[in-house]
Chain A
């Protein structure tokens, strides 16, 4: 894959039509539809459109299309394209009817989204609001909440394994120390499929809340203090001020928070992969894709079909999001 500078379309300034004299956009009639760009402007705009477009095509759109195409194939990745056997919807049929981890994975992905959206994100926002109050030692509180965001997910997975280990974990040790649990009744946090997903979600929420907290805190610092003063002069209490004044003002940040939450829950992968490769109770579509595609004798077609399903689910959310944004822009 060569995406060097030489491959990029470069516009030769000499060939670009000269802008009329004095035709900088400053001089263009205000509100007029015609905007004339100088040669340099054109180059900049052209480059800024073409380069990202090219990169998106090569790294996002084409692989996505390839995945969709390959999802109708049976191929172990060995040999040329001629060795690919086309099997129609066989992979999808198998996924739905003949692949036990699939439906749990769908449930877990949805659960992941719901928990991050309704628990972790509000929690992060709550932390931000509290810390924004200029209470004493706020920086001290801020650090441990934000710390997990700095740590790599691989490290987070490792940290939580130490907490959750059935025989040697901190949580069971504390429970036993407090006399709340007998050693033979130790809770198998990551082994019991009914508990594992919640244990993993707690670890994920721990990190996500910190992330949202930081984003939101930055937003809150930018809120014009006079707005709050005005609200308090009008007799609004803290809660009312937040929901009626601050929250609407922070709309751009809110959108970012929503988008990040959706993205994070759809791409949730690292944590479960570190914990147990996304097995027994921690099945996620992304982990199933990896299990099937990466490795020695890969099920390229089957994995691609799973990836396509994930793409379809993502598209639902992306469409809803974009539709909402465009609708609001129009208003």
Chain B
């Protein structure tokens, strides 16, 4: 089982086949057109933006200038699965309806898109394409393979500062327009907790006490699976941000701090204290199997992304979550991993004005509405979008991320991919095998990090 690579992909898995089968193309279209009509089209938004800043008129896009209406703009999409594909099609239809410009979609298989991204961006990429926030975005921006969209951002009104900083490259310019996201948290079944009278832990000590109680109650306190190598990174991220704070996470990911720093060792040693509360033998277990332990009421809680609920669709109403408890009161618990998916622009788009127009539109309330209407389980990034149709879980997820002071992406999205996959996955798995030698482990990570980050 592969990890859902985009939020749309993992959300697509949440939709039961029966639901997705009934949402025909026509209803999608109707919804999209309805949304467009209700808002008076993107022209309204763009007009607002255009009037605020004279310099952006040329790129404001849909403000009615001849350059940006009609014609076509190419869109490289990794949305190869059914539901994400529908979302992209609905976006294309709505964009055409409101601006008259055709969004020509080139869909590639999701994994192929990702593995070929180097070649894709160095070749002739589409003007606008799907990608992820974080280092994965900043890396290509710093290599000159992504287009500056700072002008587009002058017209975007629906994003919090958290989203803006997640869209900003190393040079302070924006290179990314967010679309959707999902938070990482601690998930549990309400019925189990109500039956045993468990309370949501606010601190690490409370978490440990709760874990001990669960063990007495013959429950595995924390379900755990790391066969795929990445799920445990989520636990590492949360522990690191609770112990050392968000800025340390960012510095560590950029290798501005050494991996054998005492602060990193503290993350691992704290984790080692918690490991007895985790489900044993995680290295042979996929996250889906671990989620089954929670679903079958054998485990009390599970640290994972919102996509964990796709393994619990039968009891979705019974699923709840809380943010990972505070460890250091001076650090608090207002940072979390919430990977963001969105769109980027080619470094040299064939049609810059239309590419900007499309990106402006994709960041608009209208596009966000199309997204939520087409895929009712999406957490939409724009705060302007009407989210009254959200499920309780979606609402709570949105509130959690909205109240977060800092949003990290994820270990493998915030650092160099070569470091994450060739060093961190084996290192964390080694730690789970042998949690005792934290010092040796950190030294080994740092030794490898040095060679990679200096290359």
Contact = CB atoms under 8 A, between A and B. Distances in A.
Contacts of A296: 114-115, 117-118, 136, 417-418
Given A78-B145, A292-B422, A296-B115, A280 B455 contact: no
Given A166-B281, A296-B117, 5 more contacts: A168-B292, A189-B284, A190-B284, A191-B281, A191-B284
A291 B115 CA distance: 11
Interface in B389-419: 416-418
A294 interface: yes
Contacts of B255: none
Interface in B291-308: 292-293
B289 interface: yes
Interface residues of B, number: 38
7 contacts: A76-B118, A191-B227, A280-B430, A296-B114, A296-B115, A297-B417, A299-B452
Interface in A289-325: 291-292, 294-299, 301-302
B139 interface: yes
Contacts of B115: 294-296
A279 interface: yes
Interface in A255-298: 276-277, 279-280, 291-292, 294-298
Given A99-B448, A168-B289, A192 B118 contact: no
A164 B283 CA distance: 12
Contact of B422 (A280, A291, A301): A291
B284 A192 contact: yes
Contacts of A190: 227, 283-284
Contacts of A295: 114-115, 417-418, 421
B284 A279 contact: no
Contacts of A165: 284-285, 289
B416 A297 contact: yes
B226 to A, nearest CB: 9
A166 B284 contact: yes
A77 interface: yes
Nearest to A291: B422
Contacts of A166: 281, 284-285, 289
Contacts of B292: 167-168
Interface string A190-212: 11110010000000000000000
B291 to A, nearest CB: 11
A74 B143 CA distance: 16
A101 B282 CA distance: 19
A100 B227 CA distance: 18
Among B227, B289, B429, B444, residue most surrounded by chain A Cβ atoms (within 10 Å): B227
B229 A279 contact: yes
Contact of B139 (A87, A101, A193, A297): A297
B433 interface: yes
B425 A167 contact: no
Contacts of A76: 118, 418, 455
A98 B452 contact: no
A94 B422 CA distance: 13
B429 to A, nearest CB: 5
A291 B416 CA distance: 14
Contact of B444 (A79, A100, A279): A100
Interface string A69-104: 000001011110000010100100010001111000
Contact of B227 (A99, A276, A294, A297): A276
Contacts of A68: none
B447 A98 contact: yes
Given A78-B143, A297-B118, A101 B418 contact: no
A294 to B, nearest CB: 6
A188 B118 contact: no
A134 B292 CA distance: 49
Among B117, B122, B285, residue most surrounded by chain A Cβ atoms (within 10 Å): B285
B426 interface: yes
A279 B282 contact: no
A74 B418 CA distance: 13
